[in-house]
Amino acid sequence: MSCLLAKGIRYAVSLLVVVALTFTLPRAMPGDPVMNLIGDDVSVSQATLNAIRAEIGLDRPVTEQFASYLWSLLHLDLGYSYHLNAPVADLLFARIGWTLLFTGIAILGGAAIGILAGTLAGWRPETKKSHTMTLVALAVSCTPPYFLALLFLSMFAFRLGLFPFKGLYDEATLGSIAHHLFLPVLVLTLFAAARNTLIMRGSVVQEKESLYALYARAKGLSDRAVLFGHVLKNASLPIITQIALDFGFIFSGALFVEIVFSLNGMGTLIYDAVLGRDYPLLQGAFLLIAVMVICMNMAADIVYHLVDPRIRRQGN
């Protein structure tokens, strides 16, 4: 319990740092949000600019703006988007469902494929099949998701015409949604699977030489029984942490993939907010993503604590 309490304090401090960063980073971008709001082709007086800046609260000192931001967060208020003229919370929760849908499928699919492929590659690392899987996984993991998305879009959508090249659906049916999301999900799944394969391979290579694996072989168990009955369970423990880390990494990659495929999710929303210098929307989006990543890491710590008795003994 003391270990979990210490981690809880660490996550609380991380959240405070995140809140400060989500306020600071949008304001570090070049450009004037007021000029982006009225447009470059519109000529207005300085008095009008000052009035607009006062209306959206940008005329106050930064410290006062930050204090107001914290006060709003304490009341669960993410602010009002002056670029899209809507509450930030409404905009985020209207878009995040689609992003979580194909991101969640990609993370789960990538974990399943990565565990299986990494297990097979690590059990016989000297074989040609293992070398091939490792090389492919290394190549995919080193490729940015948005570049994979561009390759898949060019090949399967533009050249072969097998899939639509933009949008979430033509009509709100399961078949249409699956058809539109297939390529984005495939890109993120392959990326997550490649990373998990490399981690799982290294873990299996290490675990198969442990004393318990040697003892299981000495008892006369087959290689299949040793691998799937003993080695796999312990070797898959690092994947628990990796899935939590992948949530943030894959989620950020999903934002770029959304832009490539013109999906109406969080990625395009953040992209529009960056172009419009919409501080409240950027603050809310970054904070929501950071909170989800922190929660995923907390969940991973709890699961790790429950499934690994060694962690429980260290905590006590």
Bridge partners (DSSP) of residue 81 are: 86
> Among residues 86, 80, 88, which one has the least CA distance to residue 57?
80
Q: Where are the domains of the chain?
A: 91-278
Determine the pLDDT at residue 270: 85
Q: In CATH, what number does 91-278 get?
A: 1.10.3720.10
Q: Determine the Cα–Cα distance for residues 114 and 245; give it in Å rounded to an integer.
A: 15
Determine the pLDDT at residue 308: 61
Q: Determine the Cα–Cα distance for residues 297 and 135; give it in Å rounded to an integer.
A: 29
> Among residues 261, 255, 253, which one has the least CA distance to residue 153?
261
pTM: 0.77
Compute the C-alpha angle 242/265/91, nearest 5°: 115
In this prediction, the residues of the chain whose per-residue pLDDT falls under 50 are: none
> Among residues 32, 58, 21, 92, which one has the least CA distance to residue 277?
32
